[in-house]
Structure 1
Amino acid sequence: MERRKFISLSGKTLCALPVFSSAVFSFGREDKMPDWLVGLVKRNDTGVESLLTYQVQEKNSPDLGGVKDGYDILNPHSTAAIIQWGACAIFSPDSKFYQSDALLSQMRLAAMYLLKIQHKDGTIDLLSTNFHSTPDTGFLVKRLAIAYTLLERSGAAENQKVLIPLKEFLMNAGEALIAGGIHTPNHRWVVSAALTKLNELWPDIRYVDRINQWLDEHIDIDIDGQFNEKSTFIYSSLTDRLLITIAAGLNKPDLLESVRKNLNMTLYYVHPNGEIVTDASGRQDKAAIGTLENYYYPYRYLAMLDKNTTYSAMCKMIEETAGPKIGGFLDYLLADASLWEALPPVTALPLNYVKSFPNSGLVRIRKNRWDSTLIANNPVWFTFMKGRAVLQGVRFASSFFGKGQFQSAKLEQKGNSWELTQTLDGPYFQPYPKEGISPDGDWEKMPKLNRPQSEIQYLETKVTIREIKEGMEVEIVSGGTDGVPAAIELIFRPGGDLKGPLKIEGSKDSWILKEGMGTYTFEKDTITFGPGLSLHKNTVLRGSLPVMDAPSVFLTGFTPFKHTIKFS
């Protein structure tokens, strides 16, 4: 997943765009692509056909060769996709576009448009947010360098019509990459991987020196096996791919240790339905629904390199749960023919475990067909999945001085249970000390910090979570100040059927479970939850987060509050 918005393609086209970081190229014309790779090539053809319909073809247009995104904005990223996808097709004997002069002509138009909009400093813009952006230039370069090599090795008679302008674009971009700055941790590796690919094509000591300057900062991986951004769906897998690129291109095998650590951690971040746990992410994929196609290349690369049978099993699982989406990484797979070989024999993946990741503030509990995630530093602190039935999260809030949304800084194990706690105070404020009163009566010049406090109210909340037979149990205890309205919120994934709760009049999709047990069914899977509690009807408490756009079941009461909910 890249930081960009591409045009929307139909469901028959590629499910995702590739992001490159390749190993050493070893393709020879004597190599025959396996059937699974041929299938991806043919899917790529459909994507190329669709993408070309969005390219500006009018000869007199100033935008000739450019491609618009889904917002009707011409941009370098959508335009580059023609070259990236097209190179895969030109290179592949089983593609309908194999060595196609017509496609090469359209790719040339795209390359010329990229040159036209490239800034004098070598950068390009990410029009949704970043301008004269070194990292976004790097995102393009690392992919276009792969496209350059595929075109060069394709044997197409007219490949120079693309290679000449593409080389000019890449060389210009290289000047930006050896000097420009970054925004986020992963950008260091984006720039370094792009420079690695340029150095493979046109060796330059300046490229290597800049890479080493970034690598001197060390890889940002913790003892859990997680990178700084904790972005399990997008940037962790991206970092894995980038580090493989740098390790292979510069003969730095030690970098692969960080990749292995992350891949080992990710084994325990898999839901029973093949989705990845994203609840602790520090980036835009937080709580996003995503499968594991972004990890396919790293798992396959190291399964082959290490003869790792567990990684091989992960590849098989990803093929089964997100098969078409791995076509987004076709360029990786075409670039290294060693990946075309059969995977090592598989061994069983971990399906029954309790695994703690303290640096991420997360605990994973899985028992084959159901699993649960416990999360600190998050208003959604509990999830439960049973097959395809998904409880996306549990939240707790109270009307306590407008700040009663429960969130715990710590997740602590106590025997066979896990505890989350929060302590709040609600003070009132006395007259301002006379000597400090602002002559103009400006309230902002008399901060509350300096006012004496009185009538201080307190609210302490403890959530205890434990495993029970066939599921989980959550106990919530809240007290200190009596009579505070409180509500538990169970957030289910849209698309299923609720039985037991009653629809709240006037709401879009909010429900009350007054008593007894409720069920949520999605296809053949059912989550049972309860018992219910309904002592008031206020489900939108002051200071609580807005109701999510999903079926939300509420249980309500007052402090002193104590209620236990079972999920099975």
Structure 2
Amino acid sequence: MNKISRGEFLKLGSLSLLGALVSDAVFANDRFFSAAAVKVDSDLMKKLVSANDAKVKKILLQVVDSNIRLSTFRSLAADIAVMSASISYSASEFYKSKVVVDRLSQAADAMLNVQYSDGTVDAGGNRQSPPDTAFVLEYICSAATVLRENKQKDLDQVKEKLKKFIQNAGEAMITGGVHTPNHRWVVSAALANINSLYPDVRYVQRIDQWLAEGVYINQDGHYSERSGIYSAVIDKALITMARLLNRPELLKMVQKNLITTYYYTEPNGDLVTVDSKRQDQFMDITVTKFYLQYRYMAIHTGNPLFAYMVKLIEKSPDFDKYILQDSLVEFMGDPELQQQIPVSSNVENDFEKFFVLSNLARIRRGKTSITLFGGNDKPVLIASGRSSNPNFLMYRKGDAILKYMRLSSSFFRMGYFSGEGIEKVGNKYILKETKEADYYQPLAPEFRKADGDYQLSESKDGRFWNKMDFDNRIASNVKKQTTVIEIEENNGALSLDFKVDGPPNVEITIEMCFKEGTEIAGATQGEKGNYFLKSGTAQLSMGTDAIQIGPGICEHQNVSNLDSEEYTYHQGTLRTDGVHVYITGFTPFHHKMTIS
């Protein structure tokens, strides 16, 4: 059978795609699709077209102002991509629509109006931002790619406008800088896209300059930011470069990260992000935005785990919002994505994985899913690029969800426990932390100043700043508090052993936050809707699923200001929505309990 040309493939409507075949030569190196004929997933294509058209209808109802002031232009660029897909796809009700042509022209004008002379656009607080322009280019280049195959004459002006925007932005991509690790690869992917449309050796030279720095991925399968959001971004960027620049070696890193992401995925598609070094360490996100990456890699590697993830994401509640509404243009730009993906049941769904460098353990036993974490960056600082989430245990049994467990101490108001790594000894996971607080002696004569005007400096224990010249003072009366938490898992049940030692009579609080709407039995409600497990066990239920915790102890009910002064000084808090249950005591504190 002859190969289907790129242009012919894009013109095929969803009905004509039924039974369409792609030459096996295209996939000669792919174990998954080594058969002579590969079928298109026509049901998925119909859904993509329908969702894309529905979004076009919403776009057409909006009023377009070419002089509009927006804080970010990704949504406008995404609209251009969505409309370009519908007008170019023969099964779309907007195929060759003159109304869409007019709206595309208006949107292209709006993009050109906000583009600076250096080729950049603004994004929120980032002014004239090369990396944010690269994110915009992802959509604009996708639009230009599908429109290139569309011979509709009244689109010529739109194509020229998009070409002007892309080539202007290309100059910014060649010379512009970045902020974060993932930006390097987003910019490089944008350059690869531009080069595929309008080849220029300078684009590839700039890509090589960034790639020469090396793409960091560790043995755990994490990129440097250890972020679910930005791992999806990097995976997509590396796939783009591998595909358009013929650099398949980049896919090895994608494969490694996607395997790790599988183990970080909850049965319902939620993604574990507690160890992220970016904003998603405190966010609830799903694995859905990895869909195109898993689909591409399932096709190119034959890994049944990737195929499993494709099917899992397709069943997720947010699949329509994040994939179906925006991805038709991706499937048109890379027709390989349209292939059917068989489902393999040979997937590991009962496991225990310890990610040593991340100090994170993931355990799955049937309906029970467990996460243990002890890998904050030290010292704990509140800043983008650093891990600071104090959640050390998360536990799920079906719909019953313990969102997190934390431990806080009133020891010098230094806040939550933050593990100094995880040590695995036999079947136990051991988390430890030592907190230390100082007092300070008078300055030696040679450091004294008659006017008392000393250097503004940070205390040696890092708790505060003052004009006290701490560097030249001797610390004394040093107080230490040590915390050891031992956790042992047995068929989904956890045995926990808490030991906190140091100065006596320090308040200790074990905080458990369950998902909103959880029903509770066995605990006593106190002020502000908080619950205290004074003794015995409690059951936390959601639907037909339940988690048992206990025994409890309650020696105080002071559960305000559990955060460190870094938060409370600014009236901030890490407390989240949910059903909060507390176990409390005083040092020396030794308590054993189970979660099952």
| 1:496 pairs with 2:518 | yes
Name the aligned partner's letter for residue 237 of structure 1: A
- 2:146 corresponds in structure 1 to 150
Q: Which residue of 2 aligns with 1:27?
A: 9
SS in 1 for 2:90: coil
Q: What amino acid is aligned across from residue 195 of structure 1 in structure 2?
A: L
Equivalent runs, 1:101-112 vs 2, <5 Å: 101-112=98-109
**Residue 136 of structure 1: aligned partner:** 132
Q: For residues 334 and 25 of structure 1, what CA distance do their matches in structure 2 show?
A: 10
What are the equivalent positions in structure 2 for 1:537-556 lying under 5 Å apart?
Answer: 537-541=557-561, 544=564, 546=573, 547-556=575-584
After superposition, the Cα gap between the structure-2 partners of 1:496 and 1:369, relative to the gap in structure 1 and judged at 3 Å, is same
Residue identity matched to 1:238: V
Q: 2:369 aligns with which of 368, 371, 374?
A: 371
8 A Cα contact 2:504 2:586, kept in partner:
yes
Following TM superposition, the consecutive aligned residue runs of length 4 or more in structure 1 with deviations greater than 4 angstroms are: 541-545
Distance 2:592 2:84 in 1: 58
Offset at residue 65 of structure 1 (A) = 6.9
One-letter code of the match for 2:85?
Answer: C
Instruction: Select 1:300's aligned residue among 281, 295, 300.
Output: 295
Q: Are residue 468 (structure 1) and residue 496 (structure 2) matched? A: no
How many Å apart are 1:551 and its aligned residue? 1.8
Matches within 5 A, 1:117-128: 117-126=114-123, 128=124
Counterpart AA for 1:403 = M
140-149 or 332-341: bigger deviation = 332-341
| Whole-angstrom distance in 1 between the partners of 2:356 and 2:329 | 36
Distance 1:37-1:268 versus aligned 2 partners, 3 A rule: same
Q: List alignment gaps of at least 5 residues for structure 2.
A: 1-5, 18-39, 377-388, 457-466, 568-572
How many residue pairs are counted as aligned between the two chains? 530
Q: Aligned equivalents of 1:430 and 1:318: distance in 2?
A: 61
Separation of aligned partners in 2, 1:541 and 1:165: 56
Deviation (angstroms), 1:478: 0.2
Q: Is the 8 A contact 2:142 2:329 kept in 1?
A: yes
1:240 paired residue number: 235
Q: Does 1:321 align with 2:316?
A: yes
Q: Match for residue 517 of structure 1? A: 537
Q: Is the 8 A contact 1:226 1:265 kept in 2?
A: yes
Task: Determine if contact 1:514/1:534 at 8 Å carries over to the other structure.
Answer: yes
1:236/1:543 CA distance change after superposition, 3 Å: closer
Give matches, 1:92-491, under 5 Å.
92-126=89-123, 128-232=124-228, 234-322=229-317, 323-324=319-320, 325-327=322-324, 328-376=326-374, 377=376, 378-442=389-453, 444=456, 445-491=467-513
What residue number does 2:55 align with? 47
1:493/1:251 CA distance change after superposition, 3 Å: same
Give me the TM-score of the superposition, normalised by structure 2.
Answer: 0.85
Cα pair distance change 1:442/1:405, threshold 3 Å: farther
Alignment check: 8 A CA contact 2:522 2:539 kept: yes
Question: Identity over aligned residues, as a percent?
Answer: 37
The answer on whether the counterparts of 2:11 and 2:88 sit within 8 Å (CA) in structure 1 is no
Matches within 5 A, 1:1-80: 27-30=9-12, 32=17, 34-56=42-64, 63-64=65-66, 66=68, 73=70, 75-80=72-77
Distance 1:227 1:273 in 2: 24
Q: 1:543 to 1:255 in 2, by over 3 A?
A: closer
Shift of the alpha carbon at 1:79? 2.1
- Mapped contact 1:99–1:155 kept (Cα < 8 A): no
C-alpha spacing 1:368/1:460, structure 2 compared with 1 (3 Å)? same
SS in 2 for 1:214: helix
Q: Quick one: distance in 1 between partners of 2:156 and 2:365?
A: 56
- Decide whether the 8 Å contact of 2:11 with 2:89 is kept in 1: no
Where structure 1 has 5 or more consecutive residues not aligned to the other structure, the ranges are 1-23, 57-62
Q: Give the Cα–Cα distance (whole angstroms) in 2 for the partners of residues 281 and 369 of structure 1.
A: 25
Q: Given residue 97 of structure 1, which amino acid in structure 2 is its aligned partner?
A: F
The AA in structure 1 aligned to 2:475 is Q
Instruction: Report the CA distance between 1:138 and its aligned residue.
Output: 0.7
Residue 552 of structure 1 and its aligned partner are, at CA, apart by: 1.3
How has the CA–CA distance of structure 1 residues 299 and 472 changed in structure 2, closer, same or farther, with 3 Å as cutoff? Answer: same
SS at match of 1:529: strand
TM-superposed deviation, 1:240: 0.8
CA deviation vs aligned residue, 1:156-210 (integer Å, no higher than 9, x gap): 3422131111111111111111110111111111111111111111110011111
Tell me, in whole angstroms, the C-alpha distance in 2 between the residues paired with 1:562 and 1:404.
19
1-side partners of 2:255 and 2:432: how far apart?
34
Give SS of 1:96's match.
coil
Q: Which residue of 536, 539, 556 maps to 1:536?
A: 556
Provide the TM-score with structure 1 as the length reference. Answer: 0.89
Bigger Cα displacement from structure 2, 430-439 vs 354-363: 430-439
* 2:590 alignment partner AA: K
* Alignment correspondent of 1:89: 86
Moved more, 255-264 or 491-500: 491-500
Q: Give the AA of the match of 1:44.
A: N
Distance (whole Å) between structure 1 residues aligned to residue 366 and residue 329 of structure 2 = 34
